[in-house]
Amino acid sequence: MGFSTVAIHAGNEPDPTTGAVAVPIYQTSTYAQEGLGKHKGFEYARTQNPTRAALERNIAALESAKFGFAFASGMSAIDTSLKLVKAGDHVILGDNTYGGTFRLFNRILRDYGIEFDLADTSDIVNLERAFKPNTKMVFVETPTNPIMTITDLKAVSDLAHANGAKVVCDNTFMSPYFQRPIEHGVDIVVHSTTKYLNGHSDSVGGFVALNDEKDAEWIGFVQNGIGAILSPFDSFLVLRGTKTLAIRMDAHDRNGRVVANFLAEHPRVQKVYYPGLTSHPQHELAKRQQGGFGGMVSFETGSLENARKVLEGVRVCTLGESLGGVESLISHPATMTHASVPEETRNKLGITDGLVRISVGIEDVEDIIADIDQALS
């Protein structure tokens, strides 16, 4: 079945009691039991909730995964995926992940005995050197935020598996519409559903999708044991969001290409980072691995002053953190999303004071272009 058919129908069976076409928000903390040990499979809402279960079936199907788990945030989903390693294990972390992921490793997991090293996962020779005898996991994000470096998921999965390690991929930027990491050999996919999957900037959530039954059992155990579950209302919102994922992603992609090309031609812009541009060093890999290029575009204005003028001069785009909503959002990675990354690392990665990131929305593209143009001049 096609992607949109799955997006609209997986997990969305009519409600068994009323026939309601939209999965109801089961806003309950517990369930009446018929007798001792006799119930309908629902005991307590941290453990099971029908709205959340519908969303879990839905996104798992979209990611070509057998199992899916919905969490209260992208970060709690990522943290839970890291419960697959133990104290004394070593993790290779992509050197240009979401700032919060780096912070989780550097400021929290470090103190619980999880060893980690940063590596440029887009360079397979460099990645191979990062393996240690106790490496149990490679955590990648592709394209990276905000520099849009692409990692070859099949190559990384082959290398990791040969070394006895699992691969986790943060697929937030592409969404399963444009990239399904499990089909390239990745073991575990994580998402911030806050972004494209929900798509309307009105919910915070996260997701873990995977195929291995034993690992899935553990992820489910941790989800219940720690309790960072997605609420019924947020589950409903994301379930509503994924129904239009295909048409939204196509629109983000269309507008993203137009904005990237416009910026590439603009005299006040020194550099544009967008995998859809033929000038992007990994354009061919992006074309092979992704079904599209999406709506994330970063560009270099040359200085903090120039960046400030753009960020404070826009009228259609909104200055704010986050991405993946229907509205265009513009941000300053160095002081916003990547503020917790040390300055030296930031500069090495290209996250300079002059870098501006746009999450291109699905407004009329002429209005987005005119807005950026007036802010740049």
Ligand X SMILES: *Cc1c(COP(=O)(O)O)cnc(C)c1O
Contact flag: residue 195 with ligand X (CB under 6 A) = yes
CB of 56 to ligand X, least distance (A): 16
Q: Which of 11, 50, 68, 74 binds ligand X (CB under 6 A)?
A: 74
Q: Give SS3 for 347.
A: helix
∠ Cα 142 222 138 (to 5°): 30
**Consecutive H or E run containing 74:** helix 74-81
Q: What is the DSSP letter of 150?
A: -
Q: How far apart are CA 4 and CA 26, in angstroms?
A: 25
In whole angstroms, the minimum distance from the beta carbon of 376 to ligand X comes to 25
Residue 234 appears among annotated catalytic residues: no
Least distance between ligand X and beta carbon 177 (Å):
16
- Judged by CB under 6 A, the chain residues 87 through 146 that form the site for ligand X are 98, 100-101, 141, 145
Instruction: Respond yes or no: is residue 196 known to be catalytic.
Output: no
| Interatomic CA distance for residues 211 and 376, integer angstroms | 47
- Encode 90-115: b = buried (16+ Cβ within 10 Å), e = exposed: bbbbbbbbbbebbbbbeeebeeeebb
Cα 210 to Cα 59: distance, rounded to the nearest angstrom: 11
The yes or no reply on residue 306 touching ligand X (CB under 6 A) is: no
Among 46, 154, 240, 254, the active-site one is: 46
**Angstrom distance (rounded) from CA 158 to CA 143:** 19
Looking at the Cβ atoms of 302 and 350, the one nearer to ligand X is 350
Selecting among 26, 89, 95, 98, the annotated active-site residue is: 98
**Angle formed by the axes of helices 245-265 and 232-243, nearest 10°:** 70
Mark whether 195 is an active-site residue.
Answer: yes
Out of 80, 96, 175, 194, the only residue in the binding site for ligand X (CB under 6 A) is 194
Respond yes or no: is residue 170 known to be catalytic: yes
Write each residue from 166 to 185 as x if it is in contact with ligand X (CB under 6 A), else as -, in one continuous string.
----x-xx------------
Site string for ligand X, 275-304 (x = CB under 6 A): ------------------------------
State in angstroms the smallest separation of the CB of 342 from ligand X. 19
Angle, alpha carbons 103-105-106 (nearest 5°): 65
- How many residues of this chain bind ligand X (CB under 6 A)? 16
Catalytic residues: 46, 98, 170, 195
Binding site for ligand X (CB under 6 A): 73-75, 98, 100-101, 141, 145, 170, 172-173, 192, 194-195, 204, 206
